[in-house]
Amino acid sequence: MDLLANAVDAIQVGVEDYHVGTRPRVLAAVRNIHAGILLLLKHTILQKVPGEAGEHLIKAMVEPVLDPSGQVVYRGTGKKTIDAQQIQQRCTAIGIALDWAALRRIGAVRNEVEHYSTQLSLPAIADVITSAMVLVRRIADEHLGVEPRELMGRDTWDAMLKVATVHSEERHACDEALSAVSWESETLAKGIRNVRCAACASDLLRPSDEAASFDDVVLICRACGASLEADRAIPQAVASELAWDDYFAVTDGADEVIGTCPSCGNDAYVDAENRCARCGESVDRRCDRCHGEILLSELYSAPLCGYCDHVMSKDD
């Protein structure tokens, strides 16, 4: 299994598909580029951990077994290899650093193609190619020790650079316009840059009025002209910035980092800021009865914590 050759072939075909420009080929471009990046990362794991150990590491299922000396070792089983989330986990565990948010953005557009989107635009695919180019460059330079142009081939790399240049200029203009808005939340200010157009999946969104208050902002897609109201844009922005932290917090048995605001009902209450990024309201997190902390998941019971609210309701 030559993962590197397959990875390069997939990305090269994806870039060719994009430049053909027909809808079926544009959709195929997303699938091929996403698949190529995942294959490239699997190859990188094998380079980092050569031999049998690396082969086990790229298997989706890993089980403990006894080796001939009676020691417990972990072996990969089955034919299925690791998916995007497992790739991030395994790479992180062995010290392969990357912009994982960029990989998730590519995956999100790929999922739109597979399951949801009916109006995917060329600018949305340009974003995929741009993100892929950045990832390929970092993987090649930092982890494989080869020139990206040498890895991908001159024609493919030059084509990726041209797409990325046009897209990055437009994206820079959108970022400057977004920076002009007073978001009043660091989480929101970061996450708003990751929000995508619901109609075409493009990330080229900018405020219709840069002087508007954050709670009145309307984002306009530069790719297709669709608009996105604050009620949809702000919860998406918070989720995009904190979803991974929220996942790990809950997995580790800790409380959520994103909660439902008791004032506006949006899933945009940020634990670290103790305020809702959508409406700006803040809840006193000290329980009136026991003076303990009110967890984010218990905001519905404020000014009581969940336990005291339960006790008081039984007394009634």
- Concatenated DSSP letters of 168-213: HHHHHHHHHHHHTS--S-HHHHHHGGG---TTT----EEES-TTS-
3-class secondary structure, 73: strand
> Whose structure tokens read 């997939």?
10
* 270 pLDDT tier (thresholds 50, 70, 90): very high
pLDDT band at 117 (very low <50, low <70, confident <90, very high): low
- 178 has pLDDT over 80: yes
Mean pLDDT of the chain: 88
Q: Which of 227, 235, 239, 295 is nearest to 265 (CA)?
A: 235
Give 232-257 pLDDT, tens digit per residue. 999 999 998 988 887 777 777 777 88
Kindly report, residue by residue over 138-156, the tens digit of the pLDDT: 999 999 999 999 999 999 9
Token couple for 88: 């991030």
CA 240 to CA 59: how far, in whole Å?
28
Lowest-confidence region among 69-73, 208-212, 297-301 = 69-73
| Beta-carbon contacts of residue 205 (< 8 Å; ≥ 6 apart) | 174, 178, 195, 196, 197, 219, 220, 221, 222, 228, 233
Give the model confidence (pLDDT) of 94-114 as tens digits.
999 998 888 988 888 888 788
CA distances from 57 to 73, 89, 94, 151, 245 (A): 12, 11, 10, 24, 24
pTM over 0.85: no
Average pLDDT over residues 248-269: 85
Q: Which residue has the higher pLDDT, 18 or 35?
A: 35
Beta carbons of 132 and 33 less than 8 angstroms apart: yes
Question: In the beta sheet, which residues pair with residue 293?
Answer: 286
